[in-house]
Amino acid sequence: MRTVYRTAGGSLALAAALLLFCIAPAGAEPRFSFATTPGKLPKDVVPRHYALRIVPAPTYDRFDGEAVIDIEVARPVPVIVVNAAELSFKSVKLRASGGGETSLAPSVDPRRETVTLTPATAPIAPGSYRLSIDYSGKIGKHPQGLYQIAYKERDRGRLVDKLMLATQMEPVQARRLFPGWDEPVFRASFDIVAVIDAPLTAVSNMPQSRVELRPDGRKEVSFARSVPMPTYLVALFVGEMDLLEDSVDGIRLGIHTVKGKRERARYAMEATKQIVRYFNGYFGEPYPLSKLDQIALPGGIGGAMENWGAIAYNEGRFLYDPGEDSLRQQQAAYGIIAHEIAHQWFGNLVTMAWWDNLWLNEGFASWMASKTTERFNPSWGMRLRDALWKETALAEDARRTTHPIQTPVENDTRAMDVFDSITYAKGAAVLRMLEGYLGEDVFRAGVRGYMRAHRFSSTTTADFWHHLSAASSQDIGKLVAGWTEQPGYPVVKVLQQCENGAAAVTLAQERFTLNDPGAVPLAWNVPVILADGAGARRTVLLEREPQKLGFERCGAMLANAGDTGYYRSQYDDRNFGRLVPALQGLPAPDRLRLLSDTFALAQAGRVDATRYLALVENLGAETDRTIWDQVTGALRFLRELIDSRGDQAVFDRYIARLLETPFARVGWDARPGEAADAALLRRSLIEALGRAGHGAVVREAQSRFAARAKKAIDPAIRPAVLNVTGRYADEATFEALLERMRSATDMSDKWEAQAALRQVRDPRLLQRLMELMLTDELPPSDAVFNLTHIGEDSGRVEIVWRFVLEHLPAILAKASARGRPHVLPDAASAFSDAARAEELIALTRTHLDATALYQAEKGADWIRLKAAVKAREARRAIDWAQARLGPAQIGSREIPPPLPVKERPSPRNGEKG
């Protein structure tokens, strides 16, 4: 849940943005209307208030519930239809405001996740009613509805198993906790009561209003009435927790952790105070609740959830201890906190009416988190990291399976399909461009008007355009709708012709695609910033027709200077030849953009992969870790297309030769006065060199792992050291990593150990690991994730694929309903043979329902792309590598054997090593 696309500052970026939004397709969506908002549920019965009473069983596997819902019936209706999933109904009664009561008969539709409530006689007349439902439900192990989290706590040197309860409602899981109107357009207030064991803590959206002890030793915890909100924001957490408290701008702040971790929440608290204060000022609407709790969960969700007033995080993403954790952990914590708190306005105060406008939540929160991180932590260089993150959207947006930012969601159970990089990263890029077009002050005025007009209500994208139009005195909807309603993006082709020292440059655009020859031709208004070798810049709007412009000097001509545009650039051979030696002198955003575009062009078959490799060879003294991350990712992509073991060894040695130089500059250990992100570069290079089998790096990683009891591994490089050690593990090392996973009491430690185990290449150990994942050793979601990613991480995709198919029923049974569509695509993702794509689709049709086909098609499309690139580029990449290695370097690769690993006692509470 990181962020976002950025524009350059100053008049140049403004000039580019002013040219940006001149043409838009017809048919932009209308402004919000409750009656026309999509959804399964009829709009003639609406909830106004829920009173919920939740009583978990002591075994934490089921609960009893009571829901008393005040409703308004707008016209005579024969039935009431609400959402419910895996709930058992005991009684349903409807009482009119005049006092009459009748029983309703429930009829459950498990496929649609609805229940129809039918009176015995006449239709239900218009008016106000109270709907009372007694029911029961399941408490599962997956993060959907009310679920349990199993974790370990160290108590006086012993590991103790613990359980806590948490909720995850977004997008459509509230119906697993209570029957109701589980669509975002239906807002209502909530009174929540939970009956729990007396020593435990309960946290919900609002402050506790009353606690009563019961004769049975339990207690009844009541929470104050909430503001009107959609069901997906309802939250309840129960467990043994410590509390860190503070306040900001009159708002009570609380961070809840499991026992013993409160002190590690202090950084998160300081970040929260800074962020809330800034957002209160920026939005012009103060945070509307009296408290903001944040809960650090020891498992369950992998990221975070913006429950109003009770934000949930996986503790591995949220907690940061300056004495123990790395800069990467600090950056991740700040970014995710800013993202989730931004949702308290974008999403909670103002909510998208339906899932087709999810970007109004996620694109906005991503953009705002990036803006905030950059404002308060300028030394982190997040602009460049965001540019690399934007690449995930550019890659997905070029494929056959792409979709517009605003994309129809016909069925609420398909809502998870749009939680992707296009919604997040491309959505944030559009907002950044808009802000540059209007200027920060005008843009903020539009945001404030939007918040003020629609607080505690729902919107569509057209509502946001309306308020930006009012603030700017321009028709923003007409100008910009194409960027959210049209899929994909262009490649700008730059042709330079030189005569008498002057340059004539021709710009033309076409839709950029990856292995999608049948894509519909589209055109955009593209703001192109051209920079020549002398530093002169020109900003033009490229429309459907090509444009020609002149420069006084001929030289290396760069498009998208400053990386302000959402497009690719392609150069004629002569101009590219000028850019290659000029690479080192370009600003970092331009170096990254040139590398990223060139590699994407090679994937698309527009240029050879050797064009990209020539750029990499000219990086020289490059020290930026983001640029090296782009390079190592691209080299890994090419390496995984090579089938022959001998050719793999050649390309691995080529990778090692490329990376030895930057690694020699940073070394294994921090040096006085080094740049803040040197440690992050160090970690990336150790990982890449170890994966390539660099003997010295592998031996040093093994040595540091073996000595960890005497000298703790530097947290900045520990994940890389563990991954390299795991990749070449023998049985003793494998057992040590298993013990590390089993004894971990922090999620970050557990994740590190699991990641290292997924690297294991020894087939026998790999078999043991996969069999372990079929047991109850790990929570089911974690087990399924590991099983479906072992193949890619270890490089043993064929072994793992066979295992997954042999045990597919058991794996699908472990997966959650929302996770099942990802099982086969994730397990197959490392393949690069087109036949595997067809196999993936066939298996999905056989073993899963139609809702899984979209993810399968995305996975198959990725495999087909790799197969196409392999057919064109694998041999060229191998030949390139061979030509640049000396004869002594092309010999057979020999990985050093693992060092012996001594047994060590389990670490003390909080100790890392």
- Dihedral sign of CA atoms 709, 715, 716, 719 in order: positive
* CB-CB contact of 174 with 137 (8 Å): no
Distance CA 561, CA 577 (A): 18
Look up tokens 């792992």; give the residue: 705
* DSSP state letter for 229: B
Neighbours of 525 (CB within 10 A): 20
Which amino acid, residue 238? V
* DSSP state letter for 558: B
Long-range contacts of 650-653 (CB under 8 A, 24+ apart): 650/878, 650/881, 650/882, 650/885, 650/890, 651/877, 651/878, 651/881, 652/692, 652/693, 652/893, 653/692, 653/881, 653/885, 653/889, 653/890, 653/893
* CB-CB contact of 788 with 826 (8 Å): yes
State both tokens at 329: 């952990």
Radius of gyration of the chain (CA): 28
Neighbours of 581 (CB within 10 A): 12
Q: What are phi and psi of 231, to 5 degrees?
A: -65, -30
| 541: Cα separation from own chain's centroid | 33
Looking from the CA of 675 toward its CB, the CA atoms found within 13 Å total 13
| 711: Cα separation from own chain's centroid | 34
How far are the Cα atoms of 389, 400, 488, 561 from residue 567, in angstroms, in the given order? Answer: 14, 17, 9, 12
Distance CA 310, CA 299 (A): 16
Helix intervals (H) in 527-572:
none
State both tokens at 309: 């007033």
The burial of 387, by beta-carbon neighbours within 10 Å (0-12 exposed, 13-18 middle, 19 or more buried), is given as buried
Q: What are phi and psi of 826, to 5 degrees?
A: -65, -40
* CB-CB contact of 718 with 754 (8 Å): no
Neighbours of 805 (CB within 10 A): 15
If you write DSSP's letter for every residue of 146-199 in order, what string do you get? EEEEEEEEEETTEEEEEEEEEEE-TTTTGGGTS-B--STT--BEEEEEEEEETT
What is the helix, strand, coil percentage profile of the chain, to 5? 45, 20, 35
State both tokens at 292: 């903001």
Q: Which residues pair with 296 in a beta bridge?
A: 313
* DSSP state letter for 887: G
Distance CA 632, CA 627 (A): 9
* DSSP state letter for 380: G
State both tokens at 13: 């970026």
Distance CA 316, CA 747 (A): 5
- Torsion angle, alpha carbons of 705, 710, 715, 721, to 10: -10
Distance CA 434, CA 20 (A): 9
Largest CA distance in the chain: 96
- Report, as residue numbers or ranges, the catalytic residues: 340
Task: Please report which helix (H) or strand (E) contains residue 243, including its range.
Answer: strand 241-248
Would you say how long the chain is, in residues?
913
Distance CA 697, CA 419 (A): 38
